Structure formats: structure tokens, C-alpha cells
Amino acid sequence: MELKVYVNPFSQPSRAVLIFCKANGIAFEEVTIELDKMQHKTPEFAEINPMKQIPVIVHGDFKLSESHAILIYLASAFPGVADHWYPTDVCKRAKIHSVLDWHHSNLRRGSVEYIFNSGVAIAFGLPMDPKAADQGKKLLLASLEMIESYWLQKDGPFLLGNTQPSIADLALACEVMQLEVIDEKDGDSILSSYKKVQEWVENTKKAIAPYFDEVHSFLPVAKQMLNELIAKSSKA
Amino acid sequence: MELKVYVNPFSQPSRAVLIFCKANGIAFEEVTIELDKMQHKTPEFAEINPMKQIPVIVHGDFKLSESHAILIYLASAFPGVADHWYPTDVCKRAKIHSVLDWHHSNLRRGSVEYIFNSGVAIAFGLPMDPKAADQGKKLLLASLEMIESYWLQKDGPFLLGNTQPSIADLALACEVMQLEVIDEKDGDSILSSYKKVQEWVENTKKAIAPYFDEVHSFLPVAKQMLNELIAKSSKA
């Protein structure tokens, strides 16, 4: 049964889905949705996902949106995915759900609001909102602190003290990586106080080599494009 | 093994957990956390949940936060929970995850921002933010429209066209019920354009009788308390 994944490598949740498929040898057809051309807002795309968002997968007749749901589905429906990604143990699985649920209203929300209003808005021809950027940054910093002091508090190199990465590590690390898109100095300064977070991202990269870096190779390109747009906009 | 649930009936996700336990005959000890006394922000409570939020469960030595994760855990760890709450079928389960993930950044976020900034802030001695209320209302209305036109588009009386309620129905219906806390006229006008949403909430109430209404019996009390606080505040 054919698996199509509708993604864009600029989108953090898209990258998590792409990396998961590659790391687990899941065969798929990648369909790139051009966000700057607003392809995700077209009526054609709304047939696939009425939420007009990526990522989405189509597996045979089955359509599924929301990256966490997709990761869980892929881990459950495809044979050969190692247990550490989404453990069958009820308690271990529950903790991974808890991290992923927390992610929605904390790291993800803070990161998206901050990054969008610190530059990405310009790529979509929208104004930046400094107040929203500030609010997003506050939530982002509080979220990084929570990863540093709680989700990584145990001995293992991954979230929840695990010895191997789960889908939660993948989802959250892809989000943290997005900070590379904004100004390098600022991006560095944001992560510089969170040594455990930095180590954990490195551990995740290494554990999912070469796929994590391969899918993230688009980020420096995106950053350059964004800087050019910002420079152009400030001259206009 | 003892199950403790730390909740407050004013909290939508707390109600979902309480109703689930009652409807499924799961024995539990209810520990009420007084939100207006900021009990959830105390160091003692942070030992149970460092996020300082409710609901949380403690099952033996196992602590778990985030209501969706809790509902999934309860459905998985306790014998005798009917399959319709959290189906074992991979595709049906994936769709429920998708609704729950969508909920975080849409209905839940819009509802909380709108309701908090339309009155609840006063109960916590905080100022209301009319701009945030407007933004929340926009997201709330868009979310109700998405439930009306997409999540309820199929023939069955529940989300995703199901014939019996799932944990997604429970989580989302508890959120919609919170609209009763704010001004009745406004609460009514918000739901009045969404006939399918209204029917679905009624279907959910009936399917989970008498527990759904029992746990929601606190809402009119909360509303009256809130109205008194608002009246007092406007005189001050």
C-alpha cells in the first residue's frame, strides 16, 4: 500500500515525519508543498487536509493529519519499527504521550510565535508583531527550562531518561533546530543557557544519523533566503 | 494499586478525567486542588506535577500529567474499558489522536484565551485583555466551524462519524461546556450557529449519563461566583 507524505522541510513537524520514515526504512513518496506559494491553502490541498496544514500522510485510502498522530501511526502500522520509538509498555508510552501533549502548548507554541514574529512573517508578506515575538520568546525560554530541568532530569541521554530516542525526542528536537533559522547570534544566545538541551539535541542527531542531519540540511538555505527577504524588506 | 486524581471541576480537562473514571467504574480518590487559592502553584504540588497544572494522576508510584495522556493511560491500563473509548484498531486510534492533537492548538487554545479574558481573569485578580479575548474568540469560532463541518461531517452522532463516544468526544465536549461559565447570552450566541456541535454535545451528555451532567453540575455555581466577582470588580 503506497504511502504519500505531504511535507515541506522548512516545517519542523514535516521534518520529524520525514526523518522517522527514513530512519525506519519506511518506503514513501515525498510530495513537497510550497509554503511560500501558499499551496497548503489551495482547494486541491484542502481535499487532502481540510486544516490546510502540513504534514499529512495518505496511506492507501487513509488520510491523517497532525504530526504526532502520524508518528504514532507509522510506528504502529509499519512492521519493524524498533520499540524504543513508541514503546508498547503502557507506562513508558503514557510518558511519551505526556511529553507530546505538553509540547503543543509550550515548546511548539512559544517557538512558532517567536520565530514567526522575528523574521518568518516577512517571507509570507506579513508584518512582524514584536509583542507576540516577546510573548513567544517567554514561553520558548520557559519551555527550554522545563526540558532542561525536568524532561531531561534523569540519567539517560534522551527525554524521560531513556537510553534510546522516542518519537518525542524527534518531535521536540526538530522544533529546537528551527531556532537556527533566525539570527545566529540570537539563536545561539537562546540555547546557550541550556547545556543539557544542547547535549540532548546532539545525542538525537547522532542516534538518528545520517537522516537527522540530511533532512535538516535545508535549514541553512532557508536561513539565507530569509535573511535576503528581511534585508530587501528593510530597504523597501 | 491506588489511583489518585488531582483535579478541580472548574477545569475542563479535569472534568474529562473525572467523567472517564466514573463512566468506566474506575475506583479513584479525588483530590481537589483549589485554583483560586493557587494550590497548583505551591512547592508541594510541584512535587506531584512540576508543570503546576491539573489534572494529574498518581497510580501507585506512577505520576502522569496532561489530560489526553491520562485518558489514554486509563483506557489502556484499566481492564474493562469498552473499546469505543480508545479503539485498538490502528486507523481508528490514529484518527482519535489526530482530533486530540488538533484540539490543543485550536478549540482548547481559543476557548481558554477567550473565556479567561472575558471574565475568568478577574477570579485570579488579573486584568482582562480585550485583544487576547478577540483573538481567542476568532480561534474558538474557527474551531467550532471545523468541528461542525469536518469532524462531525459523517453520519454517526459522534466525532469522526463514530456510533459511540471516544476520549476525543469527552475532551472536546468538556471544553465546549466551559462556554456556559461566561455570560449566558454570549455563550448562547457563540454556539447558536453550530447546530451539529449542539447536537453532538447533547449526544455526548446522553451517552455518558449521568456522569457527564453530574460532573458539570459545578458549572452554574462557578458562573454565579464569577458574576459576583465581576460585579464587585466593576464597582471597585
pLDDT at A91: 98
Q: What is the pLDDT of residues A21-66, one digit of tens each?
A: 999 999 999 999 998 889 999 999 999 999 999 999 999 999 999 9
Chain A residues close to B146, C-beta within 8 Å = 50-51
The alpha-carbon gap from A219 to the nearest alpha carbon of chain B, in Å, equals 25
Which of A51, A65, A97 minimises the CB distance to B66? A97
Look at residue A187 and tell me whether its pLDDT is greater than 70.
no
**Cβ of A127: how many Cβ atoms within 10 Å?**
9
Chain A residues close to B93, C-beta within 8 Å = 76
pLDDT at A37: 87
| B146·A50 Cβ contact <8 A | yes
* pTM, two decimal places: 0.96
pLDDT at B121: 85
In angstroms, rounded to a whole number, what is the distance separating the alpha carbons of residues B152 and A67? 21
Q: A181: pLDDT confidence band, cut at 50, 70 and 90?
A: confident
Chain B residues close to A159, C-beta within 8 Å = none
Average pLDDT of B109-117? Answer: 94
Average pLDDT of A158-172? Answer: 98
What is the DSSP code string of B167-203? HHHHHHHHHHHGGGGS-HHHHHHHHHT-HHHHHHHHH
A91 shares contact with chain B (CB less than 8 Å): yes
pLDDT at B236: 65
Q: What is the pLDDT of residues B87-107, one digit of tens each?
A: 999 999 999 999 999 999 999
CB A170 within 8 A of CB A81: no
pLDDT at B36: 82
The percentage of residues in chain B with a pLDDT greater than 90, rounded to a whole number, is 78
The H-or-E segment that residue A57 falls in is: strand A56-59
pLDDT at B128: 84
The percentage of residues in chain A with a pLDDT greater than 70, rounded to a whole number, is 97
pLDDT at A5: 98
A95 shares contact with chain B (CB less than 8 Å): yes
Binding-face residues of B in 162-201 toward A, CB within 8 A: none
Q: B229: pLDDT confidence band, cut at 50, 70 and 90?
A: confident
What is the DSSP code string of A66-80? SHHHHHHHHHHHSTT
pLDDT at B184: 65
Q: What is the pLDDT of residues B153-206, one digit of tens each?
A: 878 999 999 999 999 999 999 999 999 888 666 656 899 999 999 999 999 999
Average pLDDT of A10-15? Answer: 96
pLDDT at B182: 82
Query: In a 3-state reduction of DSSP, which class is residue B88?
Result: coil
Average pLDDT of A122-128? Answer: 80
pLDDT at A118: 86
Chain A residues close to B149, C-beta within 8 Å = 50
| B104·A101 Cβ contact <8 A | yes
Q: CA triplet B75, B50, B166: central angle to 5 degrees?
A: 20
User: What integer best gives the mean pLDDT of chain A?
Assistant: 93
By C-alpha distance, the chain A residue nearest B56 is: A98
CB contacts < 8 A (A, B): 87
Query: What are the beta bridge partners of residue A232?
Result: none
Chain B residues close to A1, C-beta within 8 Å = none
By C-alpha distance, the chain A residue nearest B88 is: A76
Query: What are the beta bridge partners of residue A7?
Result: A32
| A104·B102 Cβ contact <8 A | no
pLDDT at B185: 60
| B65·A98 Cβ contact <8 A | yes
Q: Which runs of consecutive H residues, i.e. helices, occur in A24-154?
A: 43-48, 67-77, 90-105, 107-115, 121-123, 130-146
